[in-house]
Structure 1
């Protein structure tokens, strides 16, 4: 009886049912869209952070570089021989550590031994500035008249002038990361995927081999098997690596011992990458490391996330604040409209409900009938809302807008923060790493479940208001409406 009556009443009031369902659908669709875009923003921010310090890294340990003393030279120096009379090519490399102040390698074991730390590895960040070119020595010629060279006693002789000669040099600067080859799942290479060749083997702790970022390999036309020199040492390219997202912040990866030898940093690292045993205890582990290892700066992923700026951060803030409040406002308005329409529909059914009560229907049965109709309207609206929300999310994913994210320095002085080597070296300007991330809008089962719950809730709210009004009607009301 309930189902038959419900079907008949909904068929009779298709227009009202459609208006109520569409109101709820718009509110639910907006909620799904905002939730999916917010989830996409979160994924994009995670990609930004992972592209900098790698999946599995929960924090890094660095040390702020001490302020330079007065009168000390902070720029690199190059010395060349300019005495040659012929055009001779010359080359010089200047290798400098970058990021924070160097840490002793023994600190890696101390950090790894702290309570709550699952593993820790050290890495060394270097900046290589290569200058190559040649000098051409000029020739001294007299400016005297008559073609005679000036000299002592030579009348009318002019001053000798140097003609010709000069210098032509190219400057190439690139970044190098020393990697602990025994644990590559943590550290600079954790963000990279080998797309050609192979990565380091655990036995290559001091081998003259290198993994090169794809963008740098393309620029220099390196392939697997190519060789290049740094400070006179020849390295063979064993692999080409591509970052999981964005652009690589390091050009060349070397075994840690080789990087230490190049940078004259024996048994030193600039960044210690740390993985916590429990992701919920990261803050406690950070405090423990800072308390037990003085003078260091511990940067967590949340610290680094606070420095992310650019259009990605702006869009994320809008989706979180404005989008959330807008969806709540629209949903509340949809619920209110559904309740008012249901209540108005009940008012027009005075004769019907009064007659039903005269025939013996109790108030609770009348209320149940109205609530049932409203819940069905809510479920119809929920289905339409889910369809609209999925369409909007698919549109965002298909368009795939590409917001940018910029990572500024954290509070670790001139250290590299989580990036471990992206900070300032001597004589360098502080720069922001800019990444471009393709945005998607994933819809999770939780979001769908939320939409269904909202649809039912909207129907119940509307039905409760309409049912309360219907339950207060008396059979006499139906008789007065007939009269």
Structure 2
């Protein structure tokens, strides 16, 4: 009886049922869309953080750069030999450590021995500025006075001040970044997020070999190929591999064995960054406190710390999706529930004669209420199905279009090595802009949430309508007869 009556009533009121279902569908579709886009934002941010942080890296240990001494100069300086030739080519490389104050290599083992640390490796970040060009020597000529007027040149006023004619200088300045890699453990550190697409990577035996891996973008710029040789401060290196980042762009141009990088940077047994992997990712904050308390003077930075340095359209969109989007979806959903409840209640008020007659025939109030709630539940499930379909369509559209979002890294003093980590106090104030394609994945949890909302919407609407129907009396039906 319940099923037959339910089917008949829904068939009679198709338009009203469709309006209620569509209201719920729009609210549920918005919730699915916002949740899927938020999940896509989270994935995009994870990609950005991994490009800085390194695959498998849970935190890094650095040390803030010490303040320069009074009267000291930290600016670049280049010295060239004076030559007598009229035109002389000159070239000079200035290699400096970057990313904070250098740490002793022995500190890597000390960090690895801390409780909760699975492994730790050191890396050295360098910046090489190459100045290459030539001087052209000018010629000095003196001018002679043709009158007895006072001269500024010679002491006797007989000759003018010498003037240099011709000459000059033409120099190109090229700056690139170098990362010293511990070749015995490449699963952690600067190369962790890079994939060798041409040639090969370092072997564990090449701890002090004069070989290099270069990023794909730098290789394209310099037209380097596997086997190409280049010099850094007079030392010749051979390219053995070209690496492509797993996501975004690399912020490091050249990778060298750690010992070679230490030799170039005059930083023997020194590193600038220690990459740390925790035994349990859920205990990262505890491990961070342990390292900071046992190794003084260091800065430990985790992925959550680094997330605050990501800005740009990705950060803006993520904030909008996380705050405005969620509040908007909640507001629309509440409005949809209220509209469904009001429409159901209104429909009940138009069925006074029907429910009054049913009660006169012996239907108890609970049976009338169950009938109204059943109709509302069906409307809610129909709305849930439509909402899930609309939400999936919206999420698929976002994924198909894949809008590009920009992420600026290191805006608060971050930067650092590609595949490495920035954001610590010792980092140089650099910015790296990355482009990330946005997707909108829909999880089973989101689908389950949509089904739950559909049921909840039906129950809320049915409860209000059923409460009103249960209050009707058979006399109401008689009074409504004209």
User: Is 1:50 the equivalent of 2:50?
Assistant: yes
In the aligned structure 1, how far is the partner of 2:210 from the partner of 2:262? Answer: 12
In the aligned structure 2, how far is the partner of 1:392 from the partner of 1:380? Answer: 18
In the aligned structure 2, how far is the partner of 1:396 from the partner of 1:261? Answer: 50
More displaced 10-residue stretch of structure 1: 49-58 or 284-293? 49-58
Q: Name the counterpart of 1:468.
A: 467
Please give the secondary structure, in 2, of the residue aligned with 1:436: strand
Q: What does 1:258-277 correspond to in 2, within 5 Å?
A: 258-277=260-279
In the aligned structure 2, how far is the partner of 1:315 from the partner of 1:361? Answer: 55
Instruction: State which of 272, 278, 282 in structure 1 corresponds to 2:284.
Output: 282
In the aligned structure 1, how far is the partner of 2:413 from the partner of 2:91? Answer: 38
Does structure 1 retain, via aligned residues, the 8 Å contact 2:189–2:419? no
Deviation of 1:107 (Å):
0.8
Deviation of 1:419 (Å):
4.3
Q: Name the counterpart of 1:214.
A: 216
Does structure 2 retain, via aligned residues, the 8 Å contact 1:124–1:421? no
Structure 2 CA distance for partners of 1:468 and 1:410, relative to 1, 3 Å? same
CA-to-aligned-CA distance 1:343-382 (integer Å, 9 cap, x gap):
1111111222222223332322222211111111111111
In the aligned structure 2, how far is the partner of 1:137 from the partner of 1:378? Answer: 88
Does structure 2 retain, via aligned residues, the 8 Å contact 1:82–1:137? no
Q: Name the counterpart of 2:151.
A: none
Q: What does 1:300-311 correspond to in 2, within 5 Å?
A: 300-311=302-313
In the aligned structure 1, how far is the partner of 2:38 from the partner of 2:260? Answer: 44
Q: Name the counterpart of 1:382.
A: 384
Deviation of 1:159 (Å):
5.7
CA-to-aligned-CA distance 1:455-474 (integer Å, 9 cap, x gap):
11100111111112222223
Does structure 2 retain, via aligned residues, the 8 Å contact 1:53–1:190? no
Does structure 1 retain, via aligned residues, the 8 Å contact 2:52–2:416? no
Does structure 2 retain, via aligned residues, the 8 Å contact 1:65–1:415? no
Deviation of 1:409 (Å):
6.0
In the aligned structure 2, how far is the partner of 1:417 from the partner of 1:237? Answer: 18
In the aligned structure 2, how far is the partner of 1:46 from the partner of 1:363? Answer: 56
In the aligned structure 1, how far is the partner of 2:434 from the partner of 2:416? Answer: 20
Please give the secondary structure, in 2, of the residue aligned with 1:85: coil
Please give the secondary structure, in 2, of the residue aligned with 1:55: coil
CA-to-aligned-CA distance 1:217-276 (integer Å, 9 cap, x gap):
111111112111111111111111122222211111111111111111111100001111
Does structure 1 retain, via aligned residues, the 8 Å contact 2:54–2:419? no
- Size of the aligned set, in residue pairs, is 473
Does structure 2 retain, via aligned residues, the 8 Å contact 1:212–1:251? yes
In the aligned structure 1, how far is the partner of 2:263 from the partner of 2:371? Answer: 83
In the aligned structure 1, how far is the partner of 2:348 from the partner of 2:271? Answer: 76
CA-to-aligned-CA distance 1:75-122 (integer Å, 9 cap, x gap):
232211232314332211111100110001111111111111111111
Please give the secondary structure, in 2, of the residue aligned with 1:482: coil
CA RMSD of aligned residues (A): 2.5
In the aligned structure 1, how far is the partner of 2:192 from the partner of 2:83? Answer: 48
Q: Name the counterpart of 2:259.
A: 257
Q: Give the TM-score taking structure 2 as reference length.
A: 0.92
Does structure 2 retain, via aligned residues, the 8 Å contact 1:199–1:238? yes
Structure 2 CA distance for partners of 1:37 and 1:432, relative to 1, 3 Å? same
More displaced 10-residue stretch of structure 1: 3-12 or 358-367? 358-367
Deviation of 1:423 (Å):
7.6
User: Is 1:482 the equivalent of 2:445?
Assistant: no
Does structure 1 retain, via aligned residues, the 8 Å contact 2:408–2:433? yes
Does structure 2 retain, via aligned residues, the 8 Å contact 1:98–1:423? no
In the aligned structure 2, how far is the partner of 1:421 from the partner of 1:192? Answer: 17
Does structure 1 retain, via aligned residues, the 8 Å contact 2:311–2:407? yes
In the aligned structure 2, how far is the partner of 1:33 from the partner of 1:43? Answer: 15
Structure 2 CA distance for partners of 1:369 and 1:351, relative to 1, 3 Å? same
Structure 2 CA distance for partners of 1:423 and 1:359, relative to 1, 3 Å? closer
More displaced 10-residue stretch of structure 1: 284-293 or 160-169? 160-169
In the aligned structure 1, how far is the partner of 2:32 from the partner of 2:319? Answer: 17
Deviation of 1:424 (Å):
9.2
Does structure 1 retain, via aligned residues, the 8 Å contact 2:128–2:177? yes
In the aligned structure 2, how far is the partner of 1:240 from the partner of 1:476? Answer: 88
In the aligned structure 1, how far is the partner of 2:62 from the partner of 2:454? Answer: 51
Q: Name the counterpart of 2:27.
A: 27
Q: What does 1:449-460 correspond to in 2, within 5 Å?
A: 449-460=448-459
User: Is 1:339 the equivalent of 2:341?
Assistant: yes
Q: What does 1:352-431 correspond to in 2, within 5 Å?
A: 352-408=354-410, 419-420=420-421, 430-431=429-430
In the aligned structure 2, how far is the partner of 1:424 from the partner of 1:290? Answer: 14
Deviation of 1:303 (Å):
0.8
User: Is 1:98 the equivalent of 2:98?
Assistant: yes
In the aligned structure 2, how far is the partner of 1:175 from the partner of 1:471? Answer: 77
Q: Name the counterpart of 1:125.
A: 125
Q: Name the counterpart of 2:112.
A: 112
Please give the secondary structure, in 2, of the residue aligned with 1:266: coil
In the aligned structure 2, how far is the partner of 1:449 from the partner of 1:90? Answer: 69
Q: Name the counterpart of 1:228.
A: 230
Deviation of 1:141 (Å):
4.2
Please give the secondary structure, in 2, of the residue aligned with 1:437: strand
Q: Name the counterpart of 1:328.
A: 330
Does structure 2 retain, via aligned residues, the 8 Å contact 1:409–1:416? no
Q: Name the counterpart of 2:82.
A: 82
Does structure 1 retain, via aligned residues, the 8 Å contact 2:211–2:256? yes
Q: Name the counterpart of 2:301.
A: 299
Q: Name the counterpart of 2:70.
A: 70
